[in-house]
Structure 1
Amino acid sequence: MSRVLLVEDNETTNFISKLALRSAGLEDVDEVLNGMEACSYLEKGCPDIIFLDINMPVMDGWEFLDEKKTKIPCKNVKVAMLTSSLRPSDRKKAENYPCVIAYLEKPLTKEKVEELKQKIAT
């Protein structure tokens, strides 16, 4: 896990997430502000993992995941939902997407990143 894409419309959250990722040794981090921008990004290259918010303007996280299933290259890229949603229905819905390997509550921390790195490595 070295190339990371943050898909989040809140720049403060992106700043905090980048700090956590860098403190966990991940320096190659890009960010986009919604699912539509993420689709465009993925047409040019594939990150190792995407941290994806659910509620965003233009194209939300669920719409992005549906697009990813059918139209986006990068079929093997892993996704970690990074959200403030505590709804059990959202967590359950995320389980329906095979690419989603984690459902994390904001904010992202170094500890959460380290746990995810361990999960991917095994």
Structure 2
Amino acid sequence: MIKILIIEDDEITNFISKSTLEKFGFKNINVALNGQEGLDFLRSNMCPDIILLDVNMPVLDGWDFLEAKERENLCSNVPIIITTSSGRPEDRLMAATYDNVMDYMEKPIDFNALNSILKEIHANKANRTKKASL
């Protein structure tokens, strides 16, 4: 099963996201309440398979998280989905400048679309694991 890291400051959103993802069968979900906690998680744990990242957060926002993550070369191949309430076109353009940002979802999150992406990541991980054991 894939490991998911949610970096989001809104605890209600975290509860909804985690509960919904668990209903889809995803169990290995960690939550960080801001970009600094997200960096701390990456520094002290194995890399997740995907990061769901809010943009507007206190302490360290999503953009600063992305900059620090790149600067420190933390989990550089992990795909990131920006999940934000920002409808600003410049945020979408900014997200596109990061190689590992694979999608940009405005809230409320379309969990069916997210589930499809997560299933694809899970299938790719399973194929890599299968090939490695051959």
Q: Confirm or deny a common fold (TM above 0.5).
A: yes
State the aligned residue count. 122
Corresponding letter in the other structure for 2:107 = K
> If each structure's helix is expressed as a fraction of its own residues, which one has the higher value?
2
Partner of 1:15, secondary structure, is: helix
Corresponding letter in the other structure for 2:85 = S
TM-score, length-normalised on structure 2? 0.83
Corresponding letter in the other structure for 1:79 = I
Counterpart of 1:44 in structure 2 is: 44
Give the whole-Å Cα distance in 2 for the aligned partners of 1:72 and 1:38.
14
Partner of 1:102, secondary structure, is: strand
Partner of 2:118, secondary structure, is: helix
Counterpart of 1:19 in structure 2 is: 19
**Distance apart, 1:79 and its partner CA:** 0.5
Corresponding letter in the other structure for 1:85 = S
Give the whole-Å Cα distance in 2 for the aligned partners of 1:108 and 1:22.
15
Say if 2:18 is the partner of 1:6: no
**Distance apart, 1:20 and its partner CA:** 2.0
**Distance apart, 1:119 and its partner CA:** 5.4
Partner of 1:13, secondary structure, is: helix
Residues 56-80 of structure 1, C-alpha deviation per residue, up to 9 Å, x if partnerless?
0000000000011111421111110
Identity %: 44
RCO comparison, higher one (Cα < 8 Å, 6+): 1
RMSD: 1.6
Gap runs ≥5 in structure 1: none
Give the whole-Å Cα distance in 2 for the aligned partners of 1:50 and 1:82.
10
Larger Rg: 2
User: Does the CA-based 8 Å contact 1:3-1:49 persist in structure 2?
Assistant: yes
TM-score, length-normalised on structure 1? 0.91
Equivalences for residues 86-105 of structure 1 within 5 A: 86-105=87-106
Residues 48-97 of structure 1, C-alpha deviation per residue, up to 9 Å, x if partnerless?
01100000000000000001111142111111001111111111110000
